[in-house]
Amino acid sequence: MTLQPNLNAVLHGRYRIEKVIGQGGFGNIYLAEDTRLSGRLCAVKQVRYDPAFTPEMLREARDQFMREATVLARLDHPNLPKVSDFFSIDESDFLVMDYVPGDDMRALISKAESANKFLPENEVLKWAVQIADALSYLHGQNPPILHRDIKPSNIKLTPTGLVKMVDFGLVKLLAPGEVTITILQGQGSAIYTPLEQYGGDSFHTDARADIYAFGATLYHLLTNTTPINVRDRFLDPKNLPNPRAINPAVSPRVAEAILWAMELHPDNRPQNVNAFIKALTGESTDSLLKFSGKSQYIPKPRFGTAEVRLGIAASALVFLSLLLTLLRNL
């Protein structure tokens, strides 16, 4: 039976539960006081596993949690909350992180909407640089780490102006050749999730999935408008409005970079966070025409050649596979 901590309950002989600060299908997050360090507040995340798991699947998932928690505890970056502890009680697993004060960016969007204003582009870009630095750090680990649930409500702005990416609930370690089980068996938030992530672990996801969600988050921050769900975009790829059509104050460079990050096919997106942030900030004049940091234009093929026909056929098979997965999840 899954443990349901009561208020004022002390977990692991140390963490006194004060209140619930986050809830979802994958578990709860509690604000807790660390009784061993007076005055220290922390966020305690309880992992909830799929009740349909067989005993073997549950055992594998819990083993995966321990492996991933061990890796997360070693991370040290100013834009990521520090994971300080993890433990199990009966059939429940818990992850302890620094509590991050301040508003999340969904709240900042709501405030801008209430004032009938948009968040200033220069401020959003300052935040974007910090987010990009954290993602580069995660993706640069060995093996690389994906966040897989980047969205405004998972990004907080502290009173000192520091951006923190919170909620590691969907973190996935990319071990070469290994099909992993994500800690919480989730697919991210639909509005910000790329098409390939709907396939779960049966489809290969990499850093470009985080780049899509990053771009979708910036789209929301600059337009006060949630992006079109990727399922609807797949059926009509032209139905995503240019950010400038909603907020004319968005610069053409930033709008084009965001749309690049939100390309449906991962091969058509920036191949790493650095390429995206360079395009976004204007540090590289032709970044939007590059892939994988290569300084060469992608030539337009002449239709009718055997190579192009093979390329079109291969792309069609990829999208057909994604479509079948999409339909199974509808």
Residues 300 and 182: their CA atoms lie apart, in Å, by 39
Q: Which two tokens stand for residue 312?
A: 């079109």
Residues 71 and 63: their CA atoms lie apart, in Å, by 13
Residues 181 and 61: their CA atoms lie apart, in Å, by 6
What is the 3-class SS of 224-271, one letter each residue?
Answer: CCCCCCHHHHHHCCCCCCCHHHHCCCCCHHHHHHHHHHCCCCHHHCCC
Q: Is there a catalytic annotation at residue 149?
A: yes
Query: Amino acid letter at 147?
Result: H
Question: Residue 296's CB: how many other CB atoms inside 10 A?
Answer: 9
Residues 155 and 151: their CA atoms lie apart, in Å, by 7
Catalytic residue of the set 34, 104, 133, 149: 149
Evaluate whether 239 touches 228 at the Cβ level (below 8 Å): yes
Q: Which residues are catalytic?
A: 149
